[in-house]
Structure 1
Amino acid sequence: MIVTFYSYKGGVGRTQLMANLAAYLCYQKDKKILLIDWDLEAPGVHFYFKKSNEDITGKGLLEVFQDYCKVVRSAENLQHLTIEDFPKFTQENIISMVDASLLPPNEKQELRTGKIDLIPAGRYIEAEEYKRNVIDFDWYEFYETLDGKRYMEYIKKELKNLDYDYIFIDSRTGLSDYSNICNIQLPEVNVLVIAPTHQNLEGCLQVAKNIVNSPYVTSGKFRKGIVLPVLSRVEVESPDFEPFFYAYQEKYSFLIENLRNQFNDNQKISDEIRLRASSYFSDSLLGYNKFIAIGENVLFSERQGMIRGLGESYLFIAEFIRVFNEKDSKQNGDGNYDIIMLLELLESGNFIQLFEELDRKGIKDLQYHALKREFITQGEKSSDFIERLRVFISNLSLATPLSQKSSFSANA
């Protein structure tokens, strides 16, 4: 599944969010992720994985596009070109960032299979040449004159055929000549990272509306309008936080409502959206954290520890993205679907909704009622209580689908 990460301005934590979601999915979910650095004017994804410009020696995104332009310009007739004539991404363009298979087995003694690879924006080691190539590349000619629109459909198909669970694109900021390629044509999901300023709020809102109202989306032939807004680097102690947060929620709530409407015919995805919708804006909020404000910081590693603070928000966003991925286990009928959802409610600390869902199952187990009574009478949330509840849920055998009517209200 292809996901684009976009921000109207730079410095909002867009690349940091993408890198952390990739690390979480790789280390803790054993997923294979391909990152594409499409921020041609200011590339830097590789720094999050301890790589330098000197490590980027092969052809990147820009060189592949240049090769395509050369092929088309040299052709006497575009109609005579076939897909075999088009340049494609090969191992020459892909650089390993993380190979989890080289790490020790996980805590269950299972071999790790996750990895993170990168297609860089270009060959950074030739700095001056790369800079000239970025300046000289004519996006209008590429897309309109040289039939780049058709080529991007080919590229999208080729990317989806690669052996990755997720393809994350780090997009350029602002309203550039090629932003619609990253925001509309290529992805299946858009993540809009918004800093707490009015220019970011309004700029990303316009981009969100452009995506969901694009004929490429509304035709229903190519993709759905899955757009996830994320408010980032917010100082929640500021006296201006609450009014700004409510304005943000009011302006962007149509995107969450849009998700519900698009998946009415898919029980599993509809249930997942319903469970997350009411708390989406608060749970996806990325608060400002002075301890990781300097440098390129990735919070997830092979050492799985307790996730708190900003890491919890990263986890929430990652799990929401997983909802829409047909290749992920949540959509592959692995028999643990309901269990996964219940455990996620537990991990997020949403005990009231968790017990509502369990009650709806009609569970008559004495251990369950003892746990529920303990929670009601004591408000108990100790680590021992959480662990006992986790074990109980993990051992459940659930047959009743979560789509049955619940008292839970999911008004975003």
Structure 2
Amino acid sequence: MDHLRLHLPLLPAAGEVTTFYSYKGGVGRTLALANLGHLLARRHAQPVLLVDWDLEAPGLHYYFPAAPQAPGVLDLFEACRDELQERAGRYASDTALAEAVLDAVRWEQFLVRASDDRPLWLLRAGRCDGSHAERAAMLDWQGIFDACPALFRTFSARLARHFGHVLVDARSGRADSAAICTTLLPTRLVLVFAPNRQNLDGLRELVWRATGYRSCHEDEQRPLLVYPLPSRVDTADAAQYALWRYGVDGYQSVFEAALADAYGLPQLDLGDYFDAVQLPHSASLAFGEALPAVALQERYEAFLHWFRDGLCPWQRAPAAPPAALNHHHALPLQQERAGYWPVPAAM
């Protein structure tokens, strides 16, 4: 604990906790997180933490081979589970219980340096030894939440006190751990997807569930800013590309409708944003995903125009992003961020 305090003092203002989620695997979610973390740590004055919460298929540590072996998310929350069992009924509030548990497990000891030349830290999924898979399958996330609903929110707040950006790699699908990462932890949510029906339907429902939960539960009234990030987009077939992006059920139409509904806006336009940030299919990454991914660097840089300063994706970026593949009329410049926190949604 003293080691962490020496190198990572409390920040003057809380940082951002961002979950990267994909409904289906194989869309480059972990690649995007690793590269964006790499860029943020290079340019951001405050330290950056990467968290591998994909316990069933850990992979974030492969991008940072210099990071030492260490216990991680699995070990940390096994320890939290045990502390919750010992401390049940002894505290006046869930928040007090959560603070006591996190103090007792010394969450700081699970962090390791991911880079020697920039302020980048890593919380691994775990040691990934012979017992990892069985232990991960047995960990009862719902039981931990039921024992202390404030635990994950409090853990997120603690991370944000020390790191300017915390980037969480969540498991795909609808597992309990994915729900924790998308609904309880973040202040921002990056939805990485390939433009196909399974991904779009799954993410549309996720936006509805996550923003609805946050707006309707009294203890969870915190901002949640959503960034859809199309990945492995193939523009070689212009007609097919146009259908999947601009059609009635194309990804731009889907997310314009979903975010407008979630944030209580009459309309919004994501044309400029998607023009700039969509990650193209890259044959150079087919047999390996290097860090940094030079083939996608320009698009990651464009995404940071919005992400770094917390701009909504329907706002204009302060500086011109890379040349657009297609140009769509944007909403007026005077459209502000007001209303970006969701209004209570019909459940």
Which bin holds the TM-score, normalised by the shorter protein? 0.7 to 0.9
* Counterpart for residue 120 of structure 2: 116
Alignment check: 8 A CA contact 2:41 2:120 kept: yes
Instruction: Tell me, yes or no, if the aligned pair for 2:186 and 2:224 is still in contact at 8 Å.
Output: no
- Answer whether contact 1:227 1:255 (CA < 8 A) is retained: no
Distance 2:234 2:159 in 1: 38
TM (normalized to structure 2)? Answer: 0.77
The corresponding residue for 2:286 is: 293
Q: Name the CA distance, whole Å, in 2 between partners of 1:260 and 1:348.
A: 28
Aligned equivalents of 2:145, 2:130: Cα separation in 1: 25
What displacement does 1:254 show? 3.1
How far residue 42 of structure 1 moved from its aligned partner, in angstroms, is 0.4
1:284 and 2:277 correspond? yes
Residue 254 (str. 1) matches residue 257 (str. 2): yes
Q: Deviations over 1:291-336 (max 9, x none)?
A: 1222232237xxxxxx8x62221112122111229xxxxxxxxxxx
Residue identity in the other structure for 1:42: A
Give 1:42's aligned residue. 57
- The secondary structure found in structure 1 opposite 2:57 is coil
Say yes or no: does 1:60 pair with 2:72: yes
Indicate conservation of the 8 Å contact 1:226/1:259, yes or no. no
Partner of 1:323: 309
Which residue identity does 1:119 align to in structure 2?
A: L
Residue aligning to 1:348 = 322
Let me know the Cα RMSD of the aligned residues. Answer: 3.0
Other-structure match for 1:210: 209
Q: Percent identity?
A: 26
Find the counterpart in structure 1 of residue 82 from structure 2.
Answer: 70
Q: Which amino acid aligns with 2:299?
A: S
Aligned length: 299
CA distance in 1, matches of 2:153, 2:193: 28
Q: How has the CA–CA distance of structure 1 residues 349 and 196 changed in structure 2, closer, same or farther, with 3 Å as cutoff? A: closer
Q: In the alignment, which residue of structure 2 is the partner of 1:160?
A: 160
Aligned residue in 2 for 1:110: none
Structure 1 distance, partners of 2:301, 2:106, is 30
Equivalent residue number for residue 23 of structure 1 = 38
- The question of whether the paired residues in 1 share the 8 Å contact of 2:207 and 2:262 is answered with no
How big is each residue's C-alpha offset from its partner over 1:170-217, in whole Å with a ceiling of 9 and x where there is no partner?
001000123221111110110001112211111111111212222x23
**Equivalence for 1:93:** 110
Q: How far is 1:223 from its partner?
A: 1.8
- Deviation of 1:31 (Å): 4.5
Deviations 1:126-153 (A, max 9, x none): x222122101111222222x22x22112
Deviations 1:42-99 (A, max 9, x none): 01101112358xx42x321111111111122223634377433444554421111113
Q: Which residue of 1 aligns with 2:12?
A: none
Contact 1:36 1:121 in 2 (8 A): yes
Whole-Å Cα distance in 1 between the matches of residues 22 and 298 of structure 2? Answer: 21
CA deviations 1:367-399 (Å, max 9, x no partner) are xxxxxxxxxxxxxxxxxxxxxxxxxxxxxxxxx
Q: Give the C-alpha shift of residue 404 in structure 1.
A: 10
Task: Specify the SS of the correspondent of 2:19.
Answer: strand
Distance of 1:38 and 1:66 partners within structure 2: 14
Amino acid at match of 2:275: S
In the alignment, what sits opposite 1:79?
91
SS in 1 for 2:91: helix
**Once the 2 structures are TM-superposed, how far is the Cα of residue 9 of structure 1 from its aligned partner?**
1.0
**In the aligned structure 2, how far is the partner of 1:92 from the partner of 1:255?**
40
Q: CA deviation at 1:12?
A: 0.5
Structure 2 counterparts to residues 173-322 of structure 1, below 5 A: 173-214=172-213, 216-218=214-216, 222-238=221-237, 239-246=239-246, 247-254=250-257, 257=260, 277-299=270-292, 310-322=296-308
Output the CA distance in 1 between the equivalents of 2:28 and 2:72: 23
Distance in 1, matches of 2:170 and 2:107, equals 21
Matches of 2:151 and 2:263 in 1, distance apart?
32
**Contact 2:208–2:262 (CA under 8 A) maintained in structure 1:** no
Structure 2 runs not aligned, ≥5 long = 1-15, 312-316, 328-332, 337-347
CA distance in 1 between partners of 2:83 and 2:263 (Å): 44
What is aligned with 2:13?
none
Q: In the superposition, relative to structure 1, how do residues 181 and 41 fare at CA in structure 2: closer, same or farther (>3 Å)?
A: same
